[in-house]
Amino acid sequence: LSGPTMVEGLVTGLRKAGVNVIDIGMVPTPVVYFGAYHLRTGCCVSVTGSHNPPDYNGFKIVVGGETLSGDAITDLHARIAENRLHNAPTPGSLSERDISADYVQRIASDVQLGRRLKVVVDAGNGVAGEIGPRVLEAIGADVEELYCEIDGTFPNHHPDPSEPHNLKDLINMVQRLDADLGIAFDGDGDRLGVVTRDGENIFADRLLMLFAADVLERNPGAMIVYDVKCTGRLAPHILRHGGSPLMWKTGHSLIKAKMRETGAELAGEMSGHFFFAERWYGFDDGIYSAARLLEILAASPEFPDEVLHALPKGISTPELKIEMGDRDPHAFVERFRETAQFEGGRPSTIDGLRVDWPDGWGLVRASNTTPILVLRFEADDQEALLRIQGAFRTRLLQLKPDMVLPF
């Protein structure tokens, strides 16, 4: 809801600095990224609260093809706070362009379904509600819309498909209409959620297995990057299909930078971000990812739910979140890494602390965008899962005895 005001201020400031601005209107974040390529600017800003609560808003900034993060963001904030900004003698220009049709056409020229699939799309009243269904219809899917009216108050449920309770209405509608699949987008359309006809939420790390096998058919030996929250079954799956797996930090800007550094063809995050360099531009795009998923499923002689259920699976939790209030989650995780000892486990400190055992793993990390801890657990069976969760519980409570744990 605060978007128009922020856009107005942003445009005024950019033009003051002599920058020529092209306003492409209210579109999903991936369409903004697409615009930087299509309009040959190499730079773009998406004004978005992403998947955060409605009172959050902010900027995703790309300069010279690189997404700003970390020190670059804090330096920019310091320059604004200290008013160290360039004032040009002549203000920049402002023009308006609608590139939605170009985006739809670019995807439809690359992806066409081998057979028709019936798909329910739940945009959670986020910005992908208009263009998401258009893209999937253009590639040959029969689309049924759910909560596709764009409304920044999010009256039906919060647009975050990584939270299973946000998918309940989608599951019900898929079953009621006997659709092949349910697709969910987050608030700004750069993440994807998927549910099957029988109501299973297919976590993003398992979808990445499907995408990896497909990409590796055409690109043997390719690097596939994934974040620390992903299943322990992903790396062996990538290796079996002739690929090179690389685990990295969570965060779209960090993953994109690692892809560029390694020349990876594909990357994915547990939260539902997928980055295709093969046939696309290497940025995270929930809508394009949905098109690629339907392409794979339509090419299979099996039903979509059979293909998805066949992907390797353990017993796992979704992302579990702990509100930290006034406490700095990054400082807490740093202390946890320094003090927590786990017998028989192999620790990884790429991002937070992940500990792997032969029969499962657990993770604690600090969110990049909100003051919370993010945890996830996976194991071969329920007994191992409870053991690993118990080990983490004991060590978390040693540091903060009043912590309310969601497991």
Q: What is the pTM of this model?
A: 0.94
Tokens of 97: 């362009």
Per-residue pLDDT of the chain (407 residues; tens, 9 = 90+): 999 999 999 999 999 999 999 999 999 999 999 999 999 999 999 999 988 889 999 999 999 999 998 899 999 999 999 999 999 999 999 999 999 999 999 999 999 999 999 999 999 999 999 999 999 999 999 999 999 999 999 999 999 998 999 999 999 999 999 999 999 999 999 999 999 999 999 999 999 999 999 999 999 999 999 999 999 999 999 999 999 999 999 998 899 999 999 999 999 999 999 999 999 999 999 999 999 999 999 999 999 999 999 999 999 999 999 999 888 999 999 999 999 999 999 999 999 999 999 999 999 999 988 899 999 999 999 999 999 999 999 999 999 999 999 99
Phi, psi of 229 (to 5 degrees): -85, -5
Query: What pLDDT does 370 receive?
Result: 87
Other beta carbons less than 10 A from residue 69's beta carbon: 17
What DSSP letter does each residue of 98-161 carry, written as one string? Answer: --HHHHHHHHHTT---SS--EEEEE-TTSTHHHHHHHHHHHTT-EEEEES-S--TT-SSS-S-T
Dist CA 321 CA 406 (whole Å): 7
> By three-state DSSP, how is residue 44 classified?
strand
Catalytic residue among 46, 50, 100, 316: 50
Clarify whether 316 is annotated catalytic. no
Query: What pLDDT does 53 receive?
Result: 87
Q: Tokens 């004032």 — which residue?
A: 87
Dist CA 278 CA 50 (whole Å): 25
Question: 82 near 144, Cβ under 8 Å?
Answer: no
Report the chain's C-alpha Rg in angstroms.
21
Dist CA 226 CA 242 (whole Å): 16
Dist CA 288 CA 108 (whole Å): 10
Query: What pLDDT does 358 receive?
Result: 96
Amino acid occupying residue 206 = R
Sign of CA dihedral 321, 322, 323, 324: negative
Other beta carbons less than 10 A from residue 23's beta carbon: 13
Question: 374 near 406, Cβ under 8 Å?
Answer: no
Q: Shortest CA distance to 192 belongs to which of 51, 54, 55, 299?
A: 51
Query: What pLDDT does 369 receive?
Result: 83
- State in Å, rounded, how far the first CA of the chain is from the last one: 34
* Spatial CB neighbours of 161, under 8 Å, sequence gap ≥ 6: 124, 167, 184, 185, 186, 191, 192, 193, 272
